Amino acid sequence: MPESEERPEAPTPQLDAAASKAAAAARMANQTKWVDLQVQEAIQRGEFDNLPGAGKPIKNLDRDHDPDWWVKQLVEREQIVVLPRSVQLRKDDAELDAILDTQTTEDGARRIVEEFNERVIAARYGAPEGPPLITMTRDVEATLDAWRERRAARVEAARNARREQPPRRRRWWRR
């Protein structure tokens, strides 16, 4: 193409405000048709076949509107148990020894017992909710002494189990 020739400019449509509003209104009027067309094409492709819950009634559709529906569904789905503080402390007290047995250091076990005692004291001085609080604080030193005895028994049992096992053969490359 010779340099002297210039390319003709592509005509750009200049729409005035009224024409652009009319075009927007036409798009909005045709939007429902476009959505319906997309749904029909998806049905023909089979994208709605074998969906989970197909043929089953919609859950909780017959209930009145509850503003806390999402919290209730979360509690049900995640199986969250919300207990009054006194009942939760009773449960924690019953499980405390098992939790302590998972600790390998005395500092970790001491921290767990002290945290439990703090929660019992806070519940005792807080407003009562639910059943009465009958859980007592634990004596830290007595609880740790019992933890040390259980730990020593577990260590000794593990040593005895290792002694009772037949000696392992050494591999030829480790001789």
Q: Flag whether 160 is in a domain.
A: yes
The least confident of 5-19, 36-50, 73-87, 135-149 is: 5-19
Type of residue numbered 56: K
What are the pLDDT digits (tens) for 108-151? Answer: 999 999 999 999 999 999 888 888 888 899 999 999 999 999 99
Q: Which of the four pLDDT bands, split at 50, 70 and 90, describes residue 1?
A: very low
User: What CA–CA distance (Å, rounded) separates 92 from 118?
Assistant: 13
User: What CA–CA distance (Å, rounded) separates 175 from 47?
Assistant: 64
Query: Is-contact 75 68, C-beta < 8 A?
Result: no
* Of 101, 99, 97, the residue nearest 138 (C-alpha): 97
User: What pLDDT sits at residue 11?
Assistant: 46
Q: Flag whether 146 is in a domain.
A: yes
The boundaries of the domain holding residue 96 are 85-164
Q: Flag whether 39 is in a domain.
A: no
Average model confidence (pLDDT) across the chain: 84
Type of residue numbered 43: I
Q: Is 118 exposed, middle or buried (0-12, 13-18, 19+ CB in 10 A)?
A: exposed
Q: Which of the four pLDDT bands, split at 50, 70 and 90, describes residue 6?
A: low
User: What pLDDT sits at residue 12?
Assistant: 47
What are the pLDDT digits (tens) for 55-114? Answer: 888 777 777 888 888 888 888 888 888 888 989 999 999 999 999 999 999 999 999 999
* 138 vs 17, residue with greater confidence: 138
User: What pLDDT sits at residue 8?
Assistant: 52
Q: Flag whether 25 is in a domain.
A: no
Q: Flag whether 98 is in a domain.
A: yes
